Amino acid sequence: MAQHSTALDGVFAALADPTRRAVVRRLGQGPASVGELAGDAPMTLPSFMKHVRMLESHGLIRTVKSGRVRTCVLNRDRFALVEDWLAEQRRVWAERTDRLEQFVTSQEDQP
C-alpha cells in the first residue's frame, strides 16, 4: 500500500505544474517530439527538459530517441493510479452523503 501511495504522490506532484499538464494534454492527442512540445512553452529547452524528465520519472510519459529527435508518448496505463484513487474517493463521499441524507430524513420524521 505504501508503494502505491508513493507512486500516486509522484503522479500528483508531476501533474501539479501547468507546463507538465499542458504536455500531458498535448500528448493525449498523440506522440510529439520534445521540440514540438517545447515550442509552446515560454522557457528555454533545458528548463523544459526538466519537466519532461519529471513526467518520465513518474511514469506518465515515455521518451524514445531516434537520431537527434526525442519523441514523447503518453503512458495511459499510469493514469489508472489516479482513476483508482478517484473511484475510491467517490465511493467514500457517496457513503457520507447517503448517511447525511438518512440523518436528515430521520430528523424530519421526528416530532
Summarised one tens digit per residue, pLDDT across range 36-67 is: 999 878 899 999 999 999 999 999 999 999 99
> Domains along the chain?
2-109 (1.10.10.10)
> Of residues 18 and 83, which shows the higher confidence score?
18
- Give me the residue label for grid cell 505544474: 17
pTM score of the predicted model: 0.75
Give residue 81's pLDDT band: very low, low, confident or very high (50, 70, 90). Answer: confident
Give residue 94's pLDDT band: very low, low, confident or very high (50, 70, 90). Answer: confident
DSSP three-state, residue 108: helix
Contacts of the segment 99-106: beta carbons below 8 A, 24+ positions apart: none
pLDDT at 92 over 80: no
pLDDT at position 35 is 92
Are 52 and 72 in contact by the 8 Å Cβ rule? The answer is yes
| Set of cell numbers at residue 38 | 517545447
Burial call 70-79: b when 16+ CB within 10 Å, e when fewer: ebbebbeebb
Provide the percentage of residues in the chain whose pLDDT is more than 90.
Answer: 55
Provide the percentage of residues in the chain whose pLDDT is more than 70.
Answer: 83
Distance CA 19, CA 49 (A): 11
| Set of cell numbers at residue 51 | 519537466
CA 47-51-57 angle, to 5 degrees, is 135
